[in-house]
Amino acid sequence: MSETVETRRRRLLFRAEHRGFKEADLVIGGFARKNLPVMDAAALDEFEALINTPDQDLYAWIVGREQVPDEFRGPVFDALAASAVAVSKP
């Protein structure tokens, strides 16, 4: 039996909020909570590929400490990185 879109969104939200270290949980989880409900299948695929990467790599890309590999750059990553910048501004 295949997973419904809503089940997939709930699974991705759980994974986004439980990354392994607090900063990533807050940034990625906060983004997921706000954006997963409106993501289409292509965006969900992109988001899932991102959260399948190791925590330290993904967080380093988001905060700009490391270059984002081309295969992970896309509209979802760009929105995630932009949301992290918005969160960090006073």
Name the residue among 56, 58, 64 with its Cα closest to residue 31.
58
HSE-up of residue 35 (Cα within 13 Å, Cβ side):
25
Tens of pLDDT, residues 33-80: 999 999 999 999 999 999 999 989 999 999 999 999 999 999 999 999
Tens of pLDDT, residues 15-27: 999 988 888 889 9
Q: Answer whether 0.85 is exceeded by the pTM.
A: yes
Checking if the pLDDT of 3 tops 60, the result is yes
Predicted local distance difference test score (pLDDT) of residue 87: 56
In the CATH hierarchy, which top-level class contains the domain 5-88?
mainly alpha
Q: State how far the Cα of 51 lies from the Cα of 58, in Å rounded to an integer.
A: 7
